[in-house]
């Protein structure tokens, strides 16, 4: 069985973002990492492989040279090989363009199952994975928590409003991961082994994607910091007095209760 | 292309969800500028009779796709209904809620139409023929403005970010759409539903969230009573959800839900960046934490530095008295 895991590199979720000239100030980003949902996706794929060692996992990433670091981490966690699509301008592509590129990549590598994150936590659009399923005509299961494969059937657990559900589809299929099991850490052996795993490099033109498909349908024209929240008032006195004062302020000043 | 705006309504538990009224509110505001009409479509099983009410909230034309095959939301069956309608009526924009339904249906629709998509939008502006859309990015650590290059625009709108339509208008006749059932490629084989009738977290005007400082799952009963006195819903941090104290559906933050209630009360929550991005656009934030250095105080309008075990019951009592 062959699994593709699509991975996007983003600024680490714990680091603040600074903006200058309508762009994220790259010099202020302390760390890039795989988008958390992509890591959950990889973990779900690795759990499928844990149960069936014949499974091969290929990581697919598009972006500037630094994505190699993320790929090495994914290989160290247990993926078998990778394809890097070099694109300095990947950040300016909209989700549909990304999906067209990934569709070409997926056709080239072949697959039985594709995992994507439910959204990249940079542009937060959540478009590429779903668009890819549409372009490839695959059954789509979104925001999953865990996945098992039995024969030619994939079965996913997902959280739904006020409950849980189990969804099945025949392979080939595409799954977008929600928050799932914490991704495993690479072992020392994994880190050493990753260096020997094959990484194929290509670019958008090399995949035969060109023309209209690359023209963005939406384009970011402005980027700002969100309005800062002023730290407010710390109430004083005994807890009972603080609470009375709080209730009064919420009613009379803030008018929210 | 017409300058109309199509609103995709969401119906559940016998009524249209509040997001639907918000979509109609913003669509109405924009349509007044484009000179177009607000149109609305309800999709489901047994939605046709209710759909006419959307006219009272400003929809000049109402469609209903009412069929047994549309009983439960599935993007694979809902998207074709919308694609067909959009191709026929050529709206300039299609509005959906940034809800579990909209966030998956929107991308499918934009892909099938090969047009623009903007998710989780918080503002729209029209300038001549140009549409610009504001939306938070980087989990709300920055705010971006996008220009739309290829109409129509499919947009999902953040819950509670737009004023609802006033209502009070007249109901509209409903145009019933012909539905061709789609053979689904996925199958729900098991479903467990927790309690119904609870206020949904993202819809709640007041959210009371507990963090690890609540000490244990049993103490969330305190937050439940405060929520019931105030008419709110209970939320949680990731640490609490990972510990199994509360279900994932209550998680607020980067990998959980984004909420923007009028009042957010955080009890025993440290205020990690990944939590803050899910709640910091709330109108008023109250923090209860025994550590005066906790980052949550940096975003709180009112802070109480004390033991939440002691403060929460006192606050519940104080609110009960105010409400009485
Ligand atoms: C990729 C990624 C995604 C994440 N997504 C999310 C997310 O969606 N949502 C989320 O919440 N987190 C998320 N996190 C986790 C986040 O970083 C924090 O670990 C988490 O929010 C901490 O939860 P907490 O505040 O409950 O716990 P803690 O950080 O342990 O804080 C507990 C707080 O309670 C206070 N306290 C203790 N006892 C009391 C008492 N008796 N009375 C009052 N106060 C008390 C303490 O002073 C402390 O401030 C994510 C992390 C990563 C890496």
**What's the pTM value of the predicted model, to 2 decimals?**
0.94
ipTM: 0.95
B91 lines ligand 1 (CB under 6 A): no
The DSSP H or E segment spanning B125 is strand B123-127
Mean pLDDT of A110-122: 97
Split at pLDDT 50, 70, 90, the class of B198 is: confident
Please give the pLDDT value at position B196: 61
On the question of pLDDT at B199 being above 90, the answer is no
At residue A17, the 3 state secondary structure works out as coil
Task: Please answer whether residues A55 and A1 qualify as being in contact, where contact means their C-beta atoms are separated by less than 8 angstroms.
Answer: yes
Residue of A nearest to B229 (CA): A257
Question: A101 versus B129: which is more confidently predicted?
Answer: A101
Mutation test residue for ligand 1: of A31, A36, A39, the one with most atoms within 8 Å of CB: A36
| Angstrom distance (rounded) from CA B154 to CA B265 | 34
Instruction: For the beta carbon of residue B56, count every other beta carbon within 10 angstroms.
Output: 17
- Ligand 1, atom nearest to B240 Cα: 26
**CA B246 – CA B234 distance, rounded (Å):** 10
Mean pLDDT in residue range A156-170: 92
- Which of A163, A178, A219 minimises the CB distance to B191? A163
Strand-pairing partners, residue B105, are none
Looking at the CA of residue B210, tell me the nearest atom of ligand 1.
26
Q: How open is the CA angle A167-A173-A175, to the nearest 5 degrees?
A: 65
- Report percent pLDDT > 70 for chain B: 98
Considering only the C-alpha atoms of chain B, give the largest distance between any 2 of them, rounded to a whole number of Å.
Answer: 61
B2 lines ligand 1 (CB under 6 A): no
Quick count: other Cβ atoms within 10 Å of Cβ B22?
23
Q: Is A98 helix (H, G, I), strand (E, B) or coil?
A: helix
Q: Are B201 and B252 in contact (CB under 8 A)?
A: yes
Residue B2 scores a pLDDT above 90? no
Are B186 and A139 within 8 A, CB to CB?
yes
Asked if the Cβ–Cβ distance from B111 to A220 is below 8 Å, we say no
> What phi and psi, each to the nearest 5 degrees, are found at residue A139?
-60, 140
Condensed to tens digits (0 to 9), the pLDDT of residues B76-92 reads: 999 999 999 999 999 99
Average pLDDT over residues B4-8: 98
């Amino acid at each position: 069985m062959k699994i593709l895991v699509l991975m996007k590199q983003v600024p680490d979720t714990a680091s603040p973002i600074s903006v200058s000239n309508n762009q994220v100030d790259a010099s202020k980003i302390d760390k890039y990492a795989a988008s958390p949902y992509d890591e959950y996706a990889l973990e779900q794929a690795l759990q499928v492989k844990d149960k069936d060692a014949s499974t091969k996992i290929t990581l697919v990433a598009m972006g500037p040279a630094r994505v190699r670091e993320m790929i090495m981490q994914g290989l160290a966690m247990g993926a078998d090989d990778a394809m890097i699509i070099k694109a300095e301008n990947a950040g300016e592509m909209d989700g549909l363009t990304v999906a067209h590129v990934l569709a070409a990549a997926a056709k080239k590598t072949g697959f039985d199952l594709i995992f994507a994150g439910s959204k990249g936590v940079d542009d937060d659009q959540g478009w590429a994975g779903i668009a890819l399923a549409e372009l490839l005509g695959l059954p789509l299961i979104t925001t999953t928590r865990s996945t098992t494969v039995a024969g030619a059937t994939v079965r996913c657990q997902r959280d739904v409003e006020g409950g849980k559900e189990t969804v099945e589809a025949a392979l080939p299929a595409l799954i977008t991961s929600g928050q799932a099991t914490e991704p495993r850490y690479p072992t020392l052996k994994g880190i050493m082994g990753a260096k020997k795993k094959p990484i194929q490099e290509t670019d958008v033109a090399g995949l035969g994607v060109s023309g209209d498909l690359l023209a963005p349908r939406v384009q970011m024209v402005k980027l700002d910091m969100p309005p800062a929240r002023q730290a407010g008032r710390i109430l004083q006195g005994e807890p009972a007095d603080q609470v009375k004062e709080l209730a009064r302020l919420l009613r009379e000043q803030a008018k929210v209760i | 292309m017409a300058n109309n705006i199509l609103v995709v309504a969401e119906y559940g538990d016998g009524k249209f969800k509040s997001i639907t009224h918000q979509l109609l509110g913003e669509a109405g505001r924009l349509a007044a500028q484009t000179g177009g009409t607000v149109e609305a479509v309800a999709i489901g099983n047994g939605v046709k009779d209710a759909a006419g009410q959307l006219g009272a909230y400003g929809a000049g034309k109402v469609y209903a796709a009412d069929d047994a095959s549309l009983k439960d939301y599935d993007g694979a069956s809902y998207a074709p209904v919308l694609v067909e309608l959009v191709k026929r009526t050529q709206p300039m924009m299609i509005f959906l809620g940034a809800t579990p339904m909209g966030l998956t249906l929107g991308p499918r629709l934009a892909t099938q139409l090969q047009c623009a998509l903007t998710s989780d939008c918080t503002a729209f502006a029209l300038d001549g023929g140009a549409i610009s859309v504001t939306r938070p990015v980087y989990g709300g650590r920055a705010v971006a403005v996008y220009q739309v290059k290829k109409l129509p625009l499919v947009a999902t709108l953040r819950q509670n970010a737009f004023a609802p339509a006033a209502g009070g208008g007249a109901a509209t006749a409903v145009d019933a759409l012909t539905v061709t059932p789609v053979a689904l490629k996925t199958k729900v084989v098991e479903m467990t539903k927790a309690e119904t009738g609870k206020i949904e977290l993202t819809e709640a005007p007041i959210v009371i969230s507990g963090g690890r400082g609540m000490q244990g799952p049993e103490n969330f009963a305190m937050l439940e009573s405060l929520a019931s006195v105030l008419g709110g819903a209970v939320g949680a941090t990731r640490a609490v959800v990972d510990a199994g104290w509360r279900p994932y559906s209550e998680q607020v933050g980067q990998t959980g839900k984004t909420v923007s209630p009028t009042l957010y009360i955080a009890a025993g929550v440290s205020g990690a960046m990944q939590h803050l991005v899910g709640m910091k656009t709330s109108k008023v934030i109250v923090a209860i934490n025994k550590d005066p250095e906790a980052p949550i105080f940096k975003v709180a309008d009112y802070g109480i530095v004390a033991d939440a075990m002691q403060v929460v019951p006192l606050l519940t009592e104080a609110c009960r008295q105010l409400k009485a």
